[in-house]
Structure formats: C-alpha cells, structure tokens
Structure 1
Amino acid sequence: MYSIKTNNMLNKIKLFTACTLVMFSCKEGVKEQASNELVKAEAVRPNIIYIMADDLTTQAISAYGGIYKDIAPTPNIDRLAKEGMLFQDVLCTNAICGPSRAAILTGNYSNINGYYKNESGGKFDESQWTFPQEFQKNGYQTSLFGKWHLGTEPKGFDMYKYHNSAGQQGHYWDPVYNENGVDVKEKGYSTNLSTDFAINWLQEGRKQDAPFMMLLQYKAPHRPWEPDTKYETLWDDIEMPYPATFNDDYKGRELTAGDTEMTMDYFSRRDMKLEEPKNLKGKEKIKWAFYGAKPGEIVQPEGMNEEEGRKWRYQTYIKDYLACVKSVDDNIGRILKYLDDNGLAENTVIVLTSDQGFYLGDHGFFDKRFIYEESLRMPFIVKYPKLVKAGSKNEDIISNIDFAPTLLDLANIKTTQPIQGVSFKSNLEGTTPIDWQKGMYYHYYEFPYWHHVQPHYGIRTQKYTLAHFYYNIDVWELYDLEKDPQQLNNIINAPEYANVVSDLKSQLKELMKKYENDKTLADFRVITDKDFGSIVDHQDEETSVQDILTNK
C-alpha cells in the first residue's frame, strides 16, 4: 500500500518525465521544421535565363546612354537595368566570338580551354567541363536555343536547337537548326524563331516542378546585319549621328589601330545590301557578294567622292545593325512577359550580355578584337529580385571567366572543377570584397584573318590600359582612361608616366603567371601561325614575356 509521500513522489516523477518528453518533442519539432525549411529553400533554387546577343555593344543599348539612345531606344533591355543591376566594367579576356564563348562556358582563359581564335582555330574541346554540365548534374533542366558557334555539338543540355549552317554561324532568314542531333530547316527570322523555341520549351518542354537553366543566344546583331522585314526601312528618312572618333587619324598608333581591315572601307556588297545580278552561281556568286572585304575594293554608288562614300557605308551599316538590335530587344520583351504571366519573374535570374563589345563607327571601325574600350567592354545586366537591388549599378572590374562561377554560386551549386574565374555574387548583392581584382589580363591571338588586327596582350585597370603588340611589330601603348577616355593619345613614352608603365608591367607579369600564360613570344606566335603558317620572319623568337615585363 502506497503512502501519500510515495504517491506524491510518483506524481513528481511523472510530471518531470512528461515535461522532459514535451521539451524533447519541441526540440525535435524545431529541428524537423528547420530541416524542412532547408529542404524547401534548396527546392526553390532560382531559375536562370542567360541571354547573349552576338556582337551586341554598350553603345547600342539606351540604358548605357550614347548617341543612339533617343533614336534607337532598347526599352526591354532598359527594363532589365531598371529592375536589376547594370555593370559598367565587365571585360572580355579575348574579344572575338568563339574564344569568348569558350571562356564563358569553362570559366578559363584561352590558354587553358584551348580555344584561341575563330579562323581555322580548331574546334572547342567538347570533352572538357562546362557550367551547363554542372547545372544538369545538379538537377537543373537545361536547354540551349540560338547560336552555339563552337564547331562541336553542345554538352550538358537536355534540349538544344542551335544554328547549324555556314559553319554554325547561322543565317538570319530561314535558318537551319540542329535540334538534338537532327538538322531542321525553319521558316522565318532567326531572332524571332530562337525565342519561339525558348518559350515553347518553357511552356511545354520542361517539368514544372524543377528549376531550369536556359541559354538563349541570338545570332543578331552579327554581320551581315539583316533586319526583320518590318524594320528594314525604319530610319531611311534620317541621318544617324556619327561617333566623336569617327574621323580618327590614328596618329601615334599607325602600326596598330591604323593598320587594320575593319574601317569603313571594308564593307562588302552583301553588307551594303546591293542587288545581286541574276544568274550568278557558285564561286562567282560568292566573289560578287564579298567584293569590298579586301584592300582596294571600295563599294559605293557611282558619283560619290571618298568622304561621301565613307558616310554612305556607315549610314547603311549602322541602320541595319541597330534594326537587328531592335528585334533582339523585342524578343527579350517576349521573355519578360512570359515570366511575368507565369509567376516566374521573382525567382528567375536573367542575364543579358554579349560575347564582347563592338565598334559602331567608333575610331572609324566596325568589328571588335582590340583591347580598346569599345570592343573590350561587354554589356552586362542582371535582374534577380530576390538578391539584386533594382536600379543599381556596378563599376567593379569583372571578366567573362567570372560568369560561370557566379551562376553556379547563385544556384548554390558547389563544384570541384578548377576554374580561373571567381564568383561576383557578393558584388551583385552590393558588397565588393576588399580583395577584389584591380585589373584584368587580356590576350588576342588571331592574325591576319579576319580584319588584320595585330596580336597583343595587356592589362586593363580602372584608370589605365597598357598593351603590347608583338607579332611582327614591337609596339607598346598606354592610355590614361580618366584623361583620355576615347583612347586617342598613346602616352607610352611620356616621361611623367614612366612609373605608371613600370607598375602596370609588374601587375601584368603577375597576372600572366596567375593565369598560367607566361610564355615566350615564340610560343604565342606559334598559336597565331597554326593553320596559316608564318607570314613573316620573326625576330627575338625565344624572348620571354616575363623578361620583357621586367625590362631585362
């Protein structure tokens, strides 16, 4: 028989046990809730739409300002900037289409990914790692639409449909696409078609309960700049303004900027949309179309003098180019509308960029390739409401090898793959790391085709550009970007800049070591000469770039 004392003790034990169980249950509940929230957070990984137009440049985007902003505005691209972050100093490591795309996909320089040049530069090594493969491996649905232009079939995509004619360059009208290994000829305008395919995949081709990563890569506004029919005569009744450097005389830069085949004198009959004679076939047809691309082959209407012809060619070119951009902007608007209408805008990262910059008559040029600002600077805008402050701007030096690690970081994907680029997710959030890069290394290799631009390497900081042109000349150039933003005055020999040159060479030396490209000039020339052979007798074949940069 229990006593009252014993009974009270038992009650206390029961109460303690009950409380303990409740506390344990609460803790377990908290743990379970936290675990569920973590799983939920991981499940709501952001979608990513990476949009890249070919040869799009900041001068053609009204959000960046410039002389065309009121005549040829880009309201949908501007909306991305208004609702996201506009970058002012995103730079290309090798300003030419294929090598830039390879750098973006791998996060590595040309000397690591092996893709140095477009013309007879070989094919992209499809066996190497690319960031879409990492997304696919980590549960993302992946797709590619539009331009690939790397000479191989894409890897890491559940669905792809890329331009597969003219060496993967593609055509504006009625293009041939490779759809998951099968060539398909489509009817219509390529910029619209690529967007059609992308939206169709978003609507019907993907699973609705998993994140997606899509590459939408337009052919436009690449040469030969063929506008959609509705925009062919858009600006026929006006004269487009001329860039401030349109009449650059290349004084002090005669052997570099002054010795190219990318001035207003090198537009072909095809570029100028001249009517082709009837019954031309085969080689004769090609010869007629591309007349004008070689020295001495000037294309212009009869009766025009040199200056009139030069302006006529510019007016034809710039109106066609900007009309192609207009279609790109229209189609970006279609993508934004789809995201808005389907509740996807809040959790989707949208990136808008190009493979490098481009010349729109600046310095009298078209095309790209140089370390000079217009071709070096890439348009780059990111919209992601969950992370990026609307209407923000960034002026940090970022390069195209940084894209891959950043996209992976935004998706919370960890990789063991060695990548030379670094994530700028923190910069997107508005915080620049203390140790962020203060300069970037640039290297261009292709010569003499196309456009006869001398191979060169260099460094670009926020204040200076230093470059060494080395193939069959030995020319250094220095520009003070604060005092001379248009880069008209080569001040390499100015005594007051001697210490600046020494410091920049020291920084460049370290960057070339860091990126494993501290070779000899002979090594660099071998890369240029591959497939063509040497066009000159080289001097100082075994000169080490490291010795050059230390003035030995």
Structure 2
Amino acid sequence: MRHLFAPIILLATVVACTLSAADKRPNILFIFTDDHAPHAIGAYSDWLKDVNPTPEIDKLAAQGMLFENSFCTNSICGPSRAVIQTGKHSHKNGFMNNGNSFDWNQQTFPKLLQKAGYQTAIYGKSHLKGKPQGYDDWAVLPGQGLYYNPDLITPKGKITVDGYCTDIVTDMAVNYLKNKRDEDKPFMLMVQHKAPHRNWMPAARHLNLYDDIEIPEPDTLFDKWEDNAPAARHQELEIDRHMHLNYDLFVDLTADFKDPEPTMSTDRSAWHNMQRMSPEQLKAWRDAYAPKDAAFHKANLSGKDLVRWKFQRYLKNYLRCIKGVDESVGRLVDTLEELDLDENTIVIYSSDQGFYLGDHGWYDKRWMYEESLKMPFIAKWPGVTKPGSVSKKMIQNLDYAETFLDVANTPIPDDMQGRSLVPLLKGKKPRDWRKSIYYHYYEYPATHMIPRHNGIRTERYKLINFYQFDEWEFYDLKNDPEELNNLYENPEFKKLIEEHKEKLNDIIAHYDDTSDRAVKPEEWQKRVRAEGHARKPRPEKK
C-alpha cells in the first residue's frame, strides 16, 4: 500500500510546488492618466524643471525603466483604452472613435489573466461604455466623469462619492490593496485617473499652487502653420481662438453663470460640475480664482498678451491636476511598501496619449505630430529591470496587453498585434525589434476638426496621409524635431518619400487595416471645411 500512495504523494507535491510558484508571479499595478504629455514629466524633460511637477513619477523612473519612444496608435481617449484592453489596433477591436461602443464580449487581457489565476480590478476612468468584463472588482466613471463629487458605476449600481476624483480613485485602489484582494493570488490592478483631462479642475488644496511661478512658453506658441501643414490650417484647438475664458479657464465662472448663446462646440463640463459642488468647495474655488480674475480684468489684455495669459492659466491648472496624480502615485507606492508587496509588484505609469501644452499654439491631441503621438511609459520591476535605465526602442500601447500576459507567464494569443515589452524590461536588445510604428485617427468631422489621417513613423522620418483630402506631409525628425518644415513637395526628398509610401502600404497590410481611406469628392472637402470655418468662437464674458 505504501508503494501505491507514493505516486499520489509525489503528484500532490508537484502540484503544490506549481501552485506555490504561480502564487509568486508578479503583481501588476498599472497607473494610467488621461492626456498627460511626456514633456510635462520631469523624468522626460527639463522644460518644467523650476516647477518640479512630478517628483513621485520621476522617482519611479529612477527606480525602473523610462521608454523614450513610446507612442499611441490613435490619439484619442476611448480608442487608446480599447487598444490596451485588446492588444489590437482600432480597426480590429472595433472602437475607432469616442462615438463607438466597446464590445466587452471580445477577448481582452484581463479575461485571460483571470483564467490564469490573477485577481483583476479597475477603478476610475474606463471610457469604453458598458460594464467592464474581466474584472473581479470595479468602479468606473460614466463617460468622462467629473472632477468633484463624481458618480461611479459599480457592479451594484451607480454611486456618488463626495470629494475629488483623483483622491477617490486612489482611495479605492488603496482599499483594494489593503482589504479586498485575496492574499494567496497575484493581482492586476488598474488605477485610471480622469486627470489631467479638460477642463483641468484642480483639487481645492492645489488651487493656488504655482501662483508664484512663470511657466516657460514653448518656442512655437505663436506658430501659424500657413506655409507648412495644409490640414493644420483648419483645426479648432488653438489657445488663442478656441480656448474659452469662462468654461476652460474659469474666469468669473460660478455655478449660476449665465451661459452665452452657443455658436461653436465648447466643453462646459467644469460649469456643470460646479453645480454639484458643496458650498465649501465652491467657496474654496472662488476664494482662489476671484482675485486672479480681478487682476485679469484690470489688465485688459489683447493680442499676444492675452494668449500669453491664457497659456499661463491653462498650464497652471493642467499642472495642478497632475500634482494630484503625482501624489496618488506616491500613496500607491507607499501602500505597496507598507504591505510588503513592493518587491514582487511591477508598477507602470502611462497615459492614453500625449497633449499640446501650448506647442504650436494648441491644446488637445488627435494629431500624428510628436506632441500628440508620444505617450509616457515608465516601469519599475524590482529585481528584473535595472534602476535608472532608458529604452530607445519604439513601443506602442498596442504592446501593453501582451506585456501583462507575458509577465503573468500566460500565452499570448496569435491574433494580438503588439509584442511583449518583457525582453526590453529585462535589459535585452532584440535585433528584430520594430523599426516603425503605424498610426490611424478616425474622428472627423468632429470636435476640434482634425481630419482623418494615417501614417508611418520610422526612427528618423514621418509620413502622414490626410487621405480624405489627399494631403500629405513628410518630416525629418532628426533635423526638424518640432515638425516645422513639411518636406513633401521638396524634390530632394522624392525618392525617400516614395520609399516611405511603400513602407506605409506594407505596414497597412501587416496590420490588415482595410478601413475606408478613400479621397472624398472636392465638393465634400470644400463643404466640410467651410462649415468648420463658419463657426465662430463662443462669446466670452470678460
């Protein structure tokens, strides 16, 4: 009988050892923001060194790896998140613009992690509509969500939580780590902040932060694009003409503000949010802004001086929102250490795309130009990733799902289109790593009037096709990093441009992008652009 039980005992020992090994697989903490441009992170740029906007994120970079060439596939909120969920380009996951609805029944990496024995949770901004699938616990903002006293959708229904959104989402994540997870299983926790999305409403404690600092202006603040980029002449995202004094910059904005007659698309979410704020919150708000508004009215600015004032107000509010995020990163990292989870947890910081911070006179994103295309990606993996390391390899949000699965020692499905970043995080330098990335933006005609376009970016060059208008742009990023000189009509670059058109066709075929890229009739082109120019900025109350 002793010999009969020996194989059973041996089998049980093997299973126990296997389970024990599985239990030691790394936890994943994914901290994700909305519209956080890399050049607003100290570890990426010294542009804001006197402001020191992100000490906690910078510390994370010093303890891990920073990716210098991290790009999105489609620079808009919902589609970026859909790509991360699926590891597939927008044309494959079905979520190409913010008007689409995400099919939660499709394959996603959280579902695969669940099957592999991971606990999964998400708190904050989902922006994919519908109830999240693949998560053991979740609470997500409906749509864009609110900065103050936000609603959240949970498995038990909608709730309203008093407080500031960044703090609330962080509190939920900390509570999960301390009280809700199964300590015998690895976890994948997604902490997804609304900040610093428009309308850039800071926490009450940060309303006067940076008042004594002058933010450095970008060199291209007054760029006018007349001789360079045809598509850029028709956009609607200028700080000068399209950033609203009342709704975007809070001049004289109160809960009972009288709404001017609408004449163009304007984001009024801050005004609507004020109508839900508590008396204490409203008082703190007006106590902070009223003196600044009075000084603005007294100055009676116009022309470039007014643009400069708008830039300062905008950037300070944007960076104040980021300060809340940076504090959240610190709290989450401290919680991991408090719970002795830090040595076996990968901490990743990223955002859904880049953002214009006055570059070229703009705000927002959407373009394939660098400020919009680049997204931060910082990863700390104790014992695996060398502290203070930097990768120059080209990566995309297309790679996140594959990376999470690889970390969990889980097979990566063949239909995913990215590749795992684990070899890079381990310090390896694969010779077969991609030499180019593909981009495709679909939301037109729509807010900000950025035309549909696709393109290819190599390590040095970028080719963009605004296909509905049959307009092309080509840039040498080495000699022209700010993309001020469109070389498409330059005969000296004809051969190089033709080579990149071939590369673009090849990468389109590689990713099987069969979406409509036809040139529109000339009548349609003139009508759509004329309708955009016919809209005038909304009246602003000074």
When normalised by structure 2's length, the TM-score is 0.85
For 2:243, the equivalent position in structure 1 comes to 267
More deviation in 372-381 or 444-453?
444-453
Q: 1:211-232 deviations in whole A, cap 9, x for unaligned? A: 1111100000000001111111
Matches within 5 A, 1:385-424: 385-416=382-413, 418-424=415-421
Q: Distance in 1 between matches of 2:217 and 2:174?
A: 37
* 1:309/1:285 CA distance change after superposition, 3 Å: closer
How far the C-alpha of 1:318 sits from its partner, in A, is 0.2
Secondary structure at 1:476 match in 2: strand
Q: Distance in 1 between matches of 2:90 and 2:37?
A: 22
How far the C-alpha of 1:502 sits from its partner, in A, is 1.6
Matches within 5 A, 1:2-401: 38-118=18-98, 121-164=99-142, 168-265=143-240, 266-268=242-244, 269-276=246-253, 279=256, 284=259, 287=262, 301=297, 303-401=300-398
| Aligned counterpart for 2:481 among listed residues 473, 482, 485 | 485
Query: Are 2:505 and 1:509 equivalent residues in the alignment?
Result: yes
Contact 1:72 1:322 in 2 (8 A): no
How far the C-alpha of 1:468 sits from its partner, in A, is 0.8
Output the amino acid matched with 2:243.
F
Q: Distance in 1 between matches of 2:428 and 2:146?
A: 42
Secondary structure at 1:258 match in 2: helix
How far the C-alpha of 1:433 sits from its partner, in A, is 1.5
Output the amino acid matched with 2:195.
A
How far the C-alpha of 1:500 sits from its partner, in A, is 1.5
Secondary structure at 1:366 match in 2: coil
Contact 1:76 1:329 in 2 (8 A): yes
| Aligned counterpart for 2:425 among listed residues 425, 428, 438 | 428
Contact 1:93 1:109 in 2 (8 A): yes
Output the amino acid matched with 1:42.
A
Contact 1:76 1:332 in 2 (8 A): yes
Secondary structure at 2:512 match in 1: coil
How far the C-alpha of 1:149 sits from its partner, in A, is 0.7
* 1:385/1:286 CA distance change after superposition, 3 Å: farther
Q: Distance in 2 between matches of 1:289 and 1:477?
A: 28
Contact 1:61 1:69 in 2 (8 A): no
Q: Distance in 1 between matches of 2:413 and 2:122?
A: 24
Matches within 5 A, 1:459-474: 459-471=456-468, 473-474=469-470
How far the C-alpha of 1:280 sits from its partner, in A, is 5.5
Q: 1:110-153 deviations in whole A, cap 9, x for unaligned? A: 111111111xx221112111111111121111111010111111
Q: Distance in 2 between matches of 1:254 and 1:514?
A: 28
How far the C-alpha of 1:245 sits from its partner, in A, is 1.5
Q: Distance in 1 between matches of 2:432 and 2:322?
A: 37
Contact 1:60 1:69 in 2 (8 A): no
How far the C-alpha of 1:518 sits from its partner, in A, is 4.2
Secondary structure at 2:448 match in 1: coil
Query: Are 2:439 and 1:442 equivalent residues in the alignment?
Result: yes
Q: 1:51-107 deviations in whole A, cap 9, x for unaligned? A: 110001111100012311331331110111111000001111101111111111100
Secondary structure at 2:350 match in 1: strand
Contact 1:143 1:160 in 2 (8 A): yes
* 1:37/1:291 CA distance change after superposition, 3 Å: closer
Q: Distance in 2 between matches of 1:415 and 1:65?
A: 34
Secondary structure at 2:102 match in 1: coil
Q: 1:226-245 deviations in whole A, cap 9, x for unaligned? A: 11111111122332110121
Report 1 or 2 for greater relative contact order, CA contacts < 8 Å, sequence distance ≥ 6: 2
For 1:521, the equivalent position in structure 2 comes to 517
Q: 1:272-315 deviations in whole A, cap 9, x for unaligned? A: 1122467568xx4895997699xxxxx98583221111111111
Q: Distance in 1 between matches of 2:266 and 2:185?
A: 51
* 1:274/1:50 CA distance change after superposition, 3 Å: same
Q: Distance in 2 between matches of 1:383 and 1:273?
A: 37
Contact 2:229 2:486 in 1 (8 A): no
| Alpha-carbon RMSD | 2.7
Contact 1:50 1:215 in 2 (8 A): yes
Output the amino acid matched with 1:79.
K
How far the C-alpha of 1:525 sits from its partner, in A, is 7.0
Output the amino acid matched with 1:85.
M
Contact 1:276 1:289 in 2 (8 A): no
For 2:280, the equivalent position in structure 1 comes to none
Secondary structure at 1:359 match in 2: coil
Query: Are 2:433 and 1:452 equivalent residues in the alignment?
Result: no
Secondary structure at 2:454 match in 1: strand
How far the C-alpha of 1:37 sits from its partner, in A, is 5.2
Output the amino acid matched with 2:249.
M
When normalised by structure 1's length, the TM-score is 0.84
Output the amino acid matched with 1:506.
E
Q: 1:346-378 deviations in whole A, cap 9, x for unaligned? A: 100111000001010011110001111111011
How far the C-alpha of 1:258 sits from its partner, in A, is 2.7
Which structure has the larger Rg over C-alpha atoms? Answer: 1
Q: 1:394-450 deviations in whole A, cap 9, x for unaligned? A: 011111111101110011011446211111211111112211110011111111211
Output the amino acid matched with 1:133.
K
* 1:250/1:335 CA distance change after superposition, 3 Å: same
Output the amino acid matched with 2:177.
L
